[in-house]
Chains A and B, each alone.
Chain A
Amino acid sequence: MLSFDLLRFVRGGFGGHGGRIGIEYHDHGTDWCELALPWREDLTGDDRTGAMAAGPVVSLLDVAASLAVWHRRGQFVPHATLDLRLDHLRAPRANEGVIGRGECYRIEESVSFVRGIAHEGDPDDPIAHLVGTYMVTGARP
């Protein structure tokens, strides 16, 4: 099984959808990972308000939580998102980037359990909360 080195993983930047929307590494601990998503006009959900759409915030938290799972495991075990539940606590502000923190709080044989929070710099004033699960896709490790 491949060992997982978070900093090495994020060093080259993000590919695919994460790269397209401009996700960047921010910080991490033993069971959590924080990523940043700078504000961009093409991520907004409403031309009039200029606030970020919900979708990029979900993507940000999904990636952060995935990385938290692999980092906590210490191994890269391929998985797929099983479900995500988002609470949109307040509307994002115009022209504000978002920090997404994903935490893996439990790993079972085939399912990993995560939670996350998205904010604009002040964790005490979050814009969204997440809970979710990931399912190991291949043979169980």
Chain B
Amino acid sequence: MKFNRRAFIGTATATAATLSAPMFVRADGHSKPRVVVVGGGAGGATAARYIAKDSAGAIDVTLIEPTRAYYTCFFSNLYIGGFREMNSLGHSYGTLAAEYGINVVHDWATGVDRDAKTVTTAGGYTIPYDRLILSPGIDFVDGAVPGWDVSASNAMPHAYKAGSQTELLRAQIDAMPQGGTYAMVAPPNPYRCPPGPYERVSMVAHRLSEVNPTAKILIADPKEKFSKQALFEEGWNNHYSGMIERIGPDFGGENVEVDPAAMTLSIDGEVTNVDVCNVIPAMKAGRIADIAGITEGNWAPVNAADLSSKMDENIHVLGDACAQGDMPKSGFSANSQAKVCANAVRGALTGSSVFPARFSNTCWSLIDTNDGIKVGATYEATEEKIAKVDGFVSQTGEDAAVRQATYEESIGWYDGITADMFG
């Protein structure tokens, strides 16, 4: 059975009764099952949209998201490189509200009462749920980079949540003196978007090579290896020869300290004056996961088959915040997990068919104009975790036509996934 979504509003009431045939009795006597989704990014927006669309009015969906306009973290590096406008990364929740009937609440979720099954918000509301889906993204680990805390995020931006931080970082790069230094403190594993810091470096190098060709890029990196390393290093050598220096853990790249007032970066005790310092600290699940008491260490462990929390069967955790196994923390992964979760939640609440979980991910990165690369894999649910099945990665030495096609494909993907998230 299929619904034309434009006709949805009119027919929802009529069809709801027939669809929800096995009527499950709600604890509080509410007539329809209620799903509350916290976080309106690639995981949360997709889950809310799929549950609303596929249940056709049989489930009440509330989406709690503090921002009115969502700026995607994916493709925000392309803004820094000058390949995208900031407003091309912005999306509103209007279609989810108007065409899918989702109750969009712009507020911060600040509490979860797992016994009463309610979410409380900063605005003072209490919202009941039958199933809660948390997709809060990431927060930063306090004290991860000595000398840096959130009060320093204007002097030393992270730009790892897109929007004003991204604009700030680009403005700082543009204001660098000729021959100045952009430094990045790269994060330890696991973190959001494994190729992200290195695509960032590529885009900064692209920008600098246009406006400030004698500038330098310095990366302090606690990791021995990183995603698509051979491809990035080949590209940096081809396009930005001599501009980029990366200091890995063998030379103290994990032993850093910053001084935002003096604008210095210390790597293994050696202090360097820098003009821009992009500090990307270690990450953890968005705070609401911790508040809900479903984290273990920095992340929320989940069951692979339906992304349900290992600590509460009525809560599901999607995307960057969950510890699920082999999938990278990416928008694509969160979107993939959301669809599996939506199918399972709908089945649990209305008795609709539940199909076996299947997951996939692809991450595109841009190195320079028309020089795109990608890595991807498919995954399945096992008892233990989400486990990798098969994968591929772009090859070094590919010809320019392949790289251009890869970049053009990534633009198509951006339009595809944002349509899949926001309708």
A, B: real partners: no
Residues of B that sit less than 8 Å from A by CB: none
